[in-house]
Chain A
Amino acid sequence: DAGVTQSPTHLIKTRGQQVTLRCSPKSGHDTVSWYQQALGQGPQFIFQYYEEEERQRGNFPDRFSGHQYPNYSSELNVNALLLGDSALYLCASSQGSGVAYEQYFGPGTRLTVT
């Protein structure tokens, strides 16, 4: 049973560019959350997708957007990249919206903005 997978593993972009990160949830999971983990920090919640809609959003600007497909896979898009967007981006999947549902995390995509 494959866990959460993310692609690409590493990415280098230039300021002002746009980037798309991809996530495939664990089998049987229908909910995907995205987190940003800056160096030396804990993960920060970006948003969560369920039934192809953004269900909740953290304190991130509109430059951060996402999408969820009918097969539950998800994309995170970041426009107009800033140096401060350099971080590890983690995808977590879970099933439904049960109380304190368990999130399974992928290995992350390391984004470097130069």
Chain B
Amino acid sequence: AQSVTQLGSHVSVSEGALVLLRCNYSSSVPPYLFWYVQYPNQGLQLLLKYTTGATLVKGINGFEAEFKKSETSFHLTKPSAHMSDAAEYFCAVTRSGTYKYIFGTGTRLKVLA
């Protein structure tokens, strides 16, 4: 079975500081990994995804994530936080042969002025 763990339900960073949101997954087969962002009263928007190939994935709004198989991690980073990055972020996993996405419980990012 697949699962996702997001460490830290709430993360606060200062504007301009590094953003690091942690995601660890469990999967017995090669995973497909995703990061989504959810702004208040809105649906989820895809930030980036990893399927195969390059392990460093670049997404929208300056975010990137690195797939580390040895650590079963897919952490999301952004070099410099902006006030507009304040939102809830979800990591998700799926695999070939299923249509089901497994989401983590989310990390709420707060950006301090």
Contacts and interface: CB of A to CB of B under 8 A. Distances in A.
B104 A42 contact: yes
B51 A99 contact: yes
Interface string B45-72: 1100101000000000000000000000
B42 A107 contact: yes
A96 to B, nearest CB: 11
Given A4-B43, A90-B43, A99 B100 contact: no
Interface string A78-114: 0000000000001010000101101111111000000
Interface size bucket, B side? Answer: 20 to 34
B43 A42 contact: no
Interface residues of A, number: 26
A105 B32 contact: no
A106 B41 CA distance: 10
Interface of B: 4, 9, 32, 36, 41-46, 49, 51, 90, 92, 94, 96, 98-106
Interface of A: 4, 31, 33, 35, 40-45, 48, 55-56, 58, 90, 92, 97, 99-100, 102-108
Given A41-B106, A48-B100, A99-B51, 8 more contacts: A35-B103, A41-B105, A43-B101, A43-B103, A55-B99, A90-B44, A100-B32, A103-B101
